[in-house]
Amino acid sequence: MWSEEQIEEYLKKNLEQKRFKHSISVRDTAIDMGKFYGENIEKLRIAGLVHDCAKNIKGYELINIARKHGYKIDDVCKKSPQLLHGLVGSIIAKEVMEINNKDILNAIAYHTTGRKNMTMIEKIIYLADYIEPLRKYDGVNELRKIAYKDIDKAMIESFNVTIKFVIERGQLIHLNTIEGRNYILKTVGE
């Protein structure tokens, strides 16, 4: 597996500066949440750092890479290929950065859409991406507080924010996002 230094070099080369800073910020937020929730810090720091490594890849290329690796591209991703930057990020993490840990790879793969039955590591990366200190949008401060109080509630809130955002733009909602939200809503309080 690549050292963190090598990973940072790769990100500096392949991401815009703003996105690089965001990646560092997600790493730090994920570590902080990991400490709070008693989760594996090493997995979180790598997943947080790497999660957007495919962010600068063009849509058609994301589709090509995913196809080449045997993934079938669903209609929503065909229409909004940027949704694939998580999946392709996990492919790069594995093949280029030699990261083999499944928990890390899944957290990277599902950080954009979410999915049903997410692990704590996946939830923390998903949320850290949303609440890292450089993020600015209405309600972010409230979400930051909830993320440290009730992680499932924070997940529902961030799914809601995402879905509203997608609707406002007239875009398609990915099935994983709907399933992720339904799953938590169904299981919360059970």
**Contact (CB, 8 A) for 93 and 125:** no
> What ranges make up the beta strands (E) of the chain?
none
Using the rule CB under 5 A, which residue among 32, 39, 129, 157 binds Fe ion?
Answer: 129
Q: How far is the CB of 186 from Fe ion (least distance, A)?
A: 26
Q: How far is the CB of 120 from Fe ion (least distance, A)?
A: 18
Longest dimension (CA), the chain: 46
Give me the phi and psi of 116, to 5 degrees please: -75, 155
Residue 132 makes contact with Fe ion by CB under 5 A: no
- The structure tokens 């507080």 sit at 145
Q: Which is nearer to Fe ion, 129 or 157 (CB)?
A: 129
Residue 122 makes contact with Fe ion by CB under 5 A: no
Q: How far is the CB of 19 from Fe ion (least distance, A)?
A: 8
Residue 39 makes contact with Fe ion by CB under 5 A: no
Q: Which is nearer to Fe ion, 103 or 129 (CB)?
A: 129
Residue 190: Cβ within 10 Å count: 4
DSSP-based helix, strand, coil % in the chain, nearest 5: 70, 0, 30
Stretch in the footprint of Fe ion (CB under 5 A) among 33-41, 63-71, 100-108, 123-131: 123-131
Residue 52 makes contact with Fe ion by CB under 5 A: yes
Residue 32: Cβ within 10 Å count: 18
How many residues bind to Fe ion according to rule CB under 5 A? 2
Residues that bind Fe ion (CB under 5 A): 52, 129
